[in-house]
Each structure stands twice: as structure tokens, then as C-alpha cells.
Amino acid sequence: MRHRQSRFIFGFLFVPVLLYAVLVIWPYLQTFGYSLTDWSGFSPSMNFVGLKNYTDLLHDDVFMTAIGHNLLLLVLLPTLTILLALFFAFMLNVGGRGGTTGIQGVRGAAFYKVVFFLPQVFSVAILVVLFEGVYRSDPGGLLNGVLVKLGLENPQHPIEWLSDPDTVFWCILAVLIWAGVGFYLVLFSAAMQSIPKDIYEAALLDGSGRAQTFLKITIPLLWETIQTAWVFLAIAAMDAFALVSSMTPPAGLYGGGPNHRSEVIATYLMRNFLPLGKAGYACAMGVVIFFITLVLSVVSLRVTRRERIEY
């Protein structure tokens, strides 16, 4: 019987594992192999250069700047997105406090969930068009128009949000947070609905306020969901290619401007791979992204690991 079970499990897993090996693992191995060559990406000929591409990365100022931006995103994007999503999910599920029907969310919670989740329906192209209107560098832009109306900005000298080295990175971060909060709000809301309302009602009877129930009950009971969200957002922070390449100058060269102030590893990788014809060098960047993401995911899971709370 045990032998038959083993054959069934092996037969069931053989095809998926084979497909995963061919479509995922093999391309990773190929990328690592190409990173050890001077391949141009356009010619089948290549020369083995060993670790030269990796040593060149250590002396590449633009690449180090891009890593700095990715690491900053890695800290800010998960932290701010999770905090905002947790706060809104808490208010929409238990923020209404006790009523005749017990613990409930604020009035109109179902409508607010739809509104918050709406950005998930938009593609990156729609987000780019939408926020290019928000960040337009003239009084006709939404953000500049509001500042002009409030008297906080000179209409003759509007802020060029996406062309100013001091603001472009923060503009991209704001879009990433805005686009991500809705998804994690729904994720946390689903997890909160599995928490027995009796726990919140007992806390209310003990005189706990909103802050205490949020910190002492909601976060501990949602810790595994928060941990998962953190890993997904960390992976997103190591990418951000589509948004940066579409919203920031120079147009047609995968963004990253002005003066590399919004550069991330993915945009610099693509610029080296296609326009510059340095595919081997770009593959070395891809390997670096892979190992950084892998290490950060493992570390975050280890650091945030705690005993499971049963309820």
C-alpha cells in the first residue's frame, strides 16, 4: 500500500516538477552562466570572463545608486503599505466598536473596501497615465493645482515632480504605496474576519481602547499574514521596473532619471541588456537581484518568526 502511494505521489508531481525545472530553474542557471561571459545579447559568440562582471559592478556608481534606491524601497514600501493597510482594515472591520449587533466596522465599510481595492483593477499603463496627470509640471496638474489654490506654490514656477531629482523618488514611492494598500487591506480584512469577535468584546469589557486592541490583539493574531505580506512587498521593492521605466525620464531608455535619482536595479539592467548591448553584465545584475531577494526573504521570515497563536 505504501509503495502504491509513493508511485501515485511521484506520478502526480513528476510533470509539475519537470515543468518548474525547465521553465524556472534552467533559465536561472543560464543567466548565471551568461553572467560569466562578455555576451552582447545580439551575437551567439561570447568569451568567458569569469567574475569580471561582478567586480565591475562593485565599482559602478550607477549600480550602487540603484541598489541604494532598492534598499530604501525595501524599508519604506513594506513598512508604510502594511501599516496603512492594517489601520484601514482594522477600522473597516472592528473600528466601529460595539453596537447592537456586536463588534463591527465603520459605517459604509463594504463600500470603502471596494474603493480601496480599485487600484488593483488598474494596469500599470493606466496608473502611469493617471499619475502623470497628478504630477504634471504645470498648474494644470492635480498636485500643482491644489498647491496653487492653497497659496503654497507660485503658479509661474510650478514644481516639476518627475523631473526634479529631489522629488522623483518619493513620487514613485507614493504611487507604489497607493497601488498596493488596497490589496493588502483586503488580505488583512479576510484574516481579521476569522478572528472571533468574542476576543474584541472581552477586550472592550476590560476597558481597552482602539490603540490597545489594535496593538495587543489584531497585530499578534495577524502576524503570519503580515509576515507573508512583508515578503511579497519586499519582492516588489526589488523590482518596481514597470512604473519607474514608464514614469521617469529619459523616455525610451527605461527611465531612472533625472540624473539616476530614480534608478533601480531592474531599469539599469534593462538599459545595459538592450540599448547598450552588455547582456553578460546585465545578467550579473540579475543574479545579484536574485540573491539579494532570496537572502532578504529568508532573513525576514526568520526574524519575524514567532509561535503560532491559536484561537
pLDDT at 137: 85
Comparing C-alpha atoms, which of 35, 58, 55, 66 is closest to residue 278? 35
Q: Are 88 and 181 in contact (CB under 8 A)?
A: yes
Query: What is the rounded CA–CA span in Å between residue 57 and residue 274?
Result: 18
Sequence-distant (≥ 6) Cβ neighbours of residue 135 within 8 angstroms: 141, 143, 161, 162, 171, 247
Question: Is 35 within a domain?
Answer: no
Same-domain status, 201 and 276 = yes
Question: Is 37 within a domain?
Answer: no
Please write down the HEC assignment for all residues of 169-237: HHHHHHHHHHHHHHHHHHHHHHHHCCCCHHHHHHHHHCCCCHHHHHHHHHHHHCHHHHHHHHHHHHHHH
19 in helix, strand or coil?
A: helix
Listed in order, strand segments (DSSP E) in 21-113 are: 97-99, 102-104
Question: Is 284 within a domain?
Answer: yes
Same-domain status, 17 and 102 = no
What is the CATH number for 115? 1.10.3720.10
Same-domain status, 23 and 130 = no
Comparing C-alpha atoms, which of 7, 20, 58 is closest to residue 285? 58
Q: Which domain holds residue 11?
A: 1-30
Question: Is 311 within a domain?
Answer: no
pLDDT at 178: 92
**In the chain, what is the straight-line distance between the N-terminal and C-terminal CA atoms, in Å?**
37
Same-domain status, 64 and 20 = no
Domain count, the chain: 2
Question: Is 308 within a domain?
Answer: no
Sequence-distant (≥ 6) Cβ neighbours of residue 111 within 8 angstroms: none
Same-domain status, 2 and 141 = no
Question: Is 46 within a domain?
Answer: no
pLDDT at 102: 55
Question: Is 43 within a domain?
Answer: no
Listed in order, strand segments (DSSP E) in the chain are: 97-99, 102-104
Which sign, positive or negative, has the C-alpha torsion 80, 81, 86, 92?
positive
Question: Is 54 within a domain?
Answer: no
Same-domain status, 205 and 256 = yes
pLDDT at 100: 46
Same-domain status, 11 and 158 = no
CB-count exposure of residue 277 (10 Å: 0-12, 13-18, 19+):
middle
Q: Which regions of the chain are under pLDDT 50?
A: 1, 100
* pTM score: 0.85
Same-domain status, 173 and 24 = no
Same-domain status, 287 and 168 = yes
Same-domain status, 8 and 126 = no
